[in-house]
Amino acid sequence: MGRPSEPIAEVARQVQRLCHNIGYVIQGKPEVVRHAVICLLAEGHLLLEDVPGTGKTSLARALASSLSVTWHRIQFTPDLLPSDVTGVSVYNQQSGEFEFKPGPVFANVVVADEINRASPKTQSALLEVMEEATLTADGVVHPMARPFMVVATQNPIDMEGTYILPEEQVDRFLMKLTVGYPSMDAEAEILRTQKMGPTVTRLMPVLAAHEVNTIIEVVKQVEVAPALEHYIVAIAAATRSMAELRLGVSPRGSLALLRTARACAAAAGRAFVTPDDVKEMAPVVLAHRVILQPDAELQGRTGAELIARAMHSVPVPRSALA
């Protein structure tokens, strides 16, 4: 296909810089870091689910700190109110009118720590913001600054005092990632680099907000051949007929896979999507969007396993660029 165009080549360079910077904090997990950056480029929200101590919050903070943007961290607790997230209207005695005081959700990157510990009412306060990048308060629509990304964390083990995210809320997240334990060598490196304190506090930003927005616009120009569009739809459709699934991938999931495949291609320095981009993104984009039948859960089946089977059942297009 020849050499990549200059904008696409620049995207690949900036992605490499960003991943390298985050890698100072999240060591031994280059694929997880890369997928988190791809989620940012695809203008999506990220859900990090793993056991305590594996670096979920550190990854979220490292991503935010690597960008010269505004970011806020919200510690979700059972007594957190929706207004503690979105903001509140306060009466101004001088003007005799109510004034809206924006909450911590008004930032380029919002780190929602332990999101499943907040009540469903507080969780739902994020729905409009995550879907439309706007917030309506007292009849006034407030747009979010771009880029806008919610990075939420949750612990799947200790369920006491938690509220499981409803399907419609989980569906708002473009990706769901698990960090996992590092290798022994990576963990030893963590001990060496962080014995004087957390490295995330020493990170310097490598990209400004306008640079991120420019990259996002370049990603939107990445070519997706009709054959690959049909390939994505076929994968989604295959999940809808699986006996093990109560709910398959929706059209929103197909769109999410398309967006991330574009970002994956741009991150690799290509102006076109290949089947390999779709294959790489499908597990992290689609697995959390399917709902298993109770008996399938009892048998130990997982969403990732069934997505892999769906992909295996769909022929890969021979001419993806036709």
User: Would you call 91 helix, strand, or coil by DSSP?
Assistant: strand
Burial 104-131 (b: 16+ CB within 10 A, else e): bbbbbbbbbbbbbbbbeebbebbeebbe
Q: Which pLDDT value is given to residue 86?
A: 92
What is the per-residue DSSP string for 39-65?
Answer: HHHTT--EEEE--TTSSHHHHHHHHHH
- Per-residue pLDDT band for 322 (boundaries 50, 70, 90) equals very low
DSSP 200: G
Burial (Cβ within 10 Å: 0-12, 13-18, ≥19) of residue 8: buried
When the pLDDT of each residue in the chain is averaged and rounded to a whole number, the result is 90
How do beta strands 87-92 and 134-137 pair? unpaired
Quick: pLDDT tens for 117-152. 989 889 888 877 898 889 888 788 889 999 999 999
Q: Which pLDDT value is given to residue 320?
A: 55
Burial (Cβ within 10 Å: 0-12, 13-18, ≥19) of residue 260: buried
- Per-residue pLDDT band for 161 (boundaries 50, 70, 90) equals low
Residue 282 reports pLDDT greater than 80: yes
Q: Which pLDDT value is given to residue 131?
A: 86
Q: Which pLDDT value is given to residue 204?
A: 92
Residue 2 reports pLDDT greater than 60: no
Quick: pLDDT tens for 56-112. 999 999 999 999 999 999 999 999 999 999 998 888 888 888 888 999 999 999 999
Task: Name which residue leads in pLDDT, 321 or 245.
Answer: 245
**Which residue do the tokens 């989980």 mark?**
170
Q: Which helix (H) or strand (E) holds 215?
A: helix 209-219
Q: Which pLDDT value is given to residue 4?
A: 58
